[in-house]
């Protein structure tokens, strides 16, 4: 973790698994970069988090699925969304032909 | 304030003053978009904040000056930096030929 950097820097050429990096951590907040390349949350698995999470998709594209909704939200570059604590969700898909860069702001209760 | 949107959307053609918009506000955290077009903090004026502030420059460019340092940090697209609470700073300059888009995460103590 560094105090400054570039969010588009150091993108691995190959991403066999998603890459999670903490960019900053202050008080109740952790700011994270997530890199995806075709990964998705395994079928039948849900994220169910104690924290609120605000996500901003900076490059690539992804489908974010909330439990009970008919279909995933398609996220493109610049799209942001608040995921409230305890709102069950999964990543339905991420782009397979480019790296998807997420910024995630995790907010403790 | 909406729960979702696109951070590159709704950029005014003309920005006579900087534009500050809250994108999300949860617990101790407020997430803000700031649009600049040539503006700077008035000479001799400093920001001196109770909150930690994490900033990410998404488009354009800017110079961020911390009191006591010899020269401003030049920020380009993708550059992020943590501004700790009480660290006096000013925006020395922002690009005059394009709109600078900042994401700011304000973290209460």
Picking from B24, B28, B81, the nearest residue to A28 by CB comes out as B28
Residue-level pLDDT at B55: 98
Provide the CA B8 distance to its chain's centre, in angstroms.
Answer: 15
- Alpha-carbon distance B56 to B1, whole Å? 19
Provide the CA B82 distance to its chain's centre, in angstroms.
Answer: 11
Residue-level pLDDT at A3: 87
From first to last of its 109 residues, chain A has per-residue pLDDT tens of 568 999 999 999 899 999 999 999 999 999 999 999 999 999 999 999 999 999 999 999 999 999 999 999 999 999 999 999 999 999 999 999 999 999 999 999 8
Residue-level pLDDT at B1: 52
- Indicate yes or no: CB of B31 within 8 angstroms of CB of A105: yes
Residue B11 at interface with chain A, using a CB cutoff of 8 Å: no
A46: enclosing H helix or E strand: none
> What are the beta bridge partners of residue A28?
none
Does B2 have pLDDT greater than 70?
Answer: no
- Alpha-carbon distance A75 to B88, whole Å? 37
Question: Rounded to 5 degrees, what angle do the CA atoms B94, B98, B104 make?
Answer: 55
Residue B4 at interface with chain A, using a CB cutoff of 8 Å: yes
More confident residue, B33 or B13: B33
Q: pLDDT per residue over B70-93, tens digit each?
A: 999 999 999 999 999 999 999 999
- Indicate yes or no: CB of A6 within 8 angstroms of CB of B31: no
Work out the mean pLDDT of chain B and round it to a whole number. Answer: 95
Structure token pair of residue B18: 């900087």
Provide the CA B45 distance to its chain's centre, in angstroms.
Answer: 16
Give the strands of the sheet with B89-94, arranged side by side: B73-75, B62-66, B89-94
Å from B57 to nearest chain A CA? 9
Q: Pick the residue of A11, A53, A54 with the most B CBs within 10 A to test the interface with B by mutation.
A: A54
Residue B11: phi and psi, rounded to 5, are -90, 115
Mean local confidence (pLDDT), B57-81: 97
Residue A56 at interface with chain B, using a CB cutoff of 8 Å: yes
Picking from A8, A26, A54, the nearest residue to B107 by CB comes out as A26
Q: pLDDT per residue over B19-29, tens digit each?
A: 999 999 999 99
Picking from B6, B76, B108, the nearest residue to A78 by CB comes out as B6
The DSSP code sequence of A55-92 is EEEEES-EEEEETTSSSPEEE-TTEEEEE-TT--EEEE
Q: How long a stretch of residues is chain B?
A: 109
Residue B80 at interface with chain A, using a CB cutoff of 8 Å: yes
- Alpha-carbon distance A102 to B41, whole Å? 30
Residue B85 at interface with chain A, using a CB cutoff of 8 Å: no
Each residue of B53-79: b (16+ CB within 10 Å) or e? bbbbbbbbbbbbbbeeeeebeebebbb
- Indicate yes or no: CB of B82 within 8 angstroms of CB of A24: yes
pTM of full prediction above 0.90: yes
Residue B1 at interface with chain A, using a CB cutoff of 8 Å: no
């Amino acid at each position: 973790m560094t105090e400054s950097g570039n969010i588009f820097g150091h993108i691995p050429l190959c991403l066999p698994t998603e890459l999670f990096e903490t960019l900053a951590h202050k008080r109740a907040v952790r700011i994270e970069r997530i890199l995806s390349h075709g990964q998705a949350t395994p079928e039948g698995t849900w994220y169910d988090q104690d924290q609120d999470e605000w996500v901003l998709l900076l490059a690539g594209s992804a489908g974010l699925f909330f439990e009970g909704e008919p279909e995933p939200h398609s996220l493109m570059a610049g799209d942001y969304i608040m995921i409230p604590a305890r709102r069950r969700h999964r990543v339905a898909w991420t782009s397979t032909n480019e790296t998807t860069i997420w910024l995630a702001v995790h907010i403790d209760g």
